[in-house]
Chains A and B, each alone.
Chain A
Amino acid sequence: MDLADLYRDVIIDHNRNPRNFRKIPPPCQHAEGLNPLCGDKLQVYLKLDADNRIEDLSFEGSGCAISVASASLMTEALRGRTRAEAEELFEHIHAMLTGREEPDVATIGKLAALAGVREYPTRVKCASLCWHTAHSALGEGETVSTE
């Protein structure tokens, strides 16, 4: 396994310049994600429009390159999707990160770059934390923890 398969250019780029790295002023939906093992802490904010479509989505927090890039890529991927479409993508990403599905660029686009973490079991949580947090923000908005 080559290190470059984990730290692909797209991941390095999104870590260095995270997209939508900001707070959305209330009213919005919000959830917090914690990874106690790493000390990662993530806030996900999202705003749904009248049609239940994600009008705006952002995040804040600190974490490793995988977690920051994953969150950044996620904010781009989810914008404009309906709640149901977002949940569907969440399922695909989860299946990919846990090795149940092969990355399919046609369905998940740039997010396929995260596939490298499958070779690093201790790092899968880094990539999945933001998705669990967004899932929570779409629902009850509770704090989620990877522990």
Chain B
Amino acid sequence: MSAARQETLENRPVFDVEAVRRDFPVLHQEVHDKPLAYLDNAASAQHPVQVIEAIAEYYRRDHANVHRGVHQLSQRATAAFEGAREKVQRFINAASEREVVFTRGTTEAINLVAQSWGRANVGPGDEIVITHLEHHANIVPWQMLCEQTGAKLRVIPMTEAGEIDLEAAGEIIGPATRLLAFTHVSNALGTISPVAELVRLARAVGALVLLDGAQGVPHMRVDVQALDCDFYTFSGHKMFAPTGIGVLWGREELLRAMPPWQGGGDMILAVSFEKTTYNELPWKFEAGTPHIAGGIGLGAAVDYLERLDIDAAGAWEHELLEHGTAVLGGIEGLRIIGTSPHKAAVISFVLDGVHPHDIGTIVDHAGVAIRTGHHCAMPVMDFYGVPATARASFAFYNTKAEIDRLAAALQHAREVFA
């Protein structure tokens, strides 16, 4: 049984949030003389001591370049780095570790697909389909590809509740669609996309599917084979691992057929001035010395999540979401933006008469960290006619008491501006 679960008398698993919090050193500090309540997890999550120690231990004992040296340290570094890849492979249920390409993050993973697969397979008359809910990272790479190839970018509209409009999707996804790229979970609103329905629409017209999983992996069990997509992208730092490391998962036959994106060391088998033979998957897409410590940290984060019992953690997050929706929704003048019944633990909101940036500063004074701004999703802000929102995003280490403190701070904000 996992350390983070206890059995009650009714034999129902209860998530022991206090035990989990002890694993996260950063949570135990004061900000403006108040205990920190970190509710900005959708921007970047914090690290358990197990991840911090894995990275520190690598730097203390094992650091050397990977895939090169015959010496002991290089072998250790390689084993740890490639071991992390296998952990990720099992974690997302990829068919093989050859399908797991390390990138700097979700953004780089999407750019890799756009530039490698896209430039080889997309041309004039073709269409790339995205949705109105996307993060800029899943908009701009496709705009760039369309500019380069003469393809057309089409956007599936969203509904007032903050969901992808499936009816419209059925009309937009058609014979010209080469790729459908959409977010697994909206970073700005928390909406969970209807993946199965959208994949079915894409499959019906022979289009590929890329999922932006930056907000998916931290909140739910992800099985790339069950999702039945072709590419899945995510970032380490949203799932309790370091910044600067992320993953592109792709179906092996697709990755195999794709040309390399960046050239350099590590992505080659043999180089002469006449001809270069590229390396096998996944290293074909990993030019240059990788973020070794980041990969190892990501592997440690996977270990942590596996031990944690991700289902129990997900259930706790859902409880936090329900509590937060009730408590924040009860504040006069507060409007929750994004009201889908299918949501991850993210609450975006605006407060009458108080600009989100003033909210951010005032709640910071109460020790509560939230994000304010456009969340790199300006089209979503335009849809709701707001320049920005405030966003509280929860991880499994958050508590209901922290949400209550956010609510009290918001009441105070109302008083300051009354």
Contact = CB atoms under 8 A, between A and B. Distances in A.
Interface of A: 1, 3, 6-7, 12, 15-16, 37-41, 62-66, 68, 120, 123, 126
Interface in B361-418: 361-362, 365, 373-374, 378, 381, 387-388, 416-417
B365 A3 contact: yes
Contacts of B373: 37-39
A3 B357 contact: no
B357 A38 contact: yes
Contact of B355 (A6, A63, A120): A63
B416 A41 contact: no
A134 B358 CA distance: 23
Contacts of B357: 38, 64, 66, 123, 126
6 contacts: A6-B361, A38-B387, A38-B388, A62-B387, A63-B387, A64-B357
Given A39-B373, A39-B381, A41-B387, A64 B416 contact: no
Contacts of B381: 39
A39 B361 contact: no
Contacts of B388: 38-39
A136 B361 CA distance: 29
Most chain A Cβ neighbours within 10 Å, of B357, B362, B374, B378: B357
B110 to A, nearest CB: 21
Contacts of A120: 361
A62 B355 CA distance: 9
Given A6-B361, A126-B357, A65 B417 contact: yes
A15 B417 contact: yes
A6 B361 CA distance: 10
Nearest to B387: A39
B194 to A, nearest CB: 29
A17 B268 CA distance: 65
Contacts of B356: 64
A63 B388 CA distance: 9
A132 B357 CA distance: 20
Given A39-B381, A65-B358, 14 more contacts: A1-B32, A3-B365, A7-B416, A16-B417, A38-B387, A39-B387, A41-B387, A63-B355, A64-B355, A64-B357, A64-B358, A65-B354, A68-B355, A123-B361
A37 B357 CA distance: 10
Contacts of B358: 7, 64-66
Nearest to B389: A39
A74 to B, nearest CB: 18
A65 B365 contact: no
A65 B355 contact: yes
A68 B355 CA distance: 10
Contacts of A65: 354-355, 358, 417
Contacts of B361: 3, 6, 120, 123
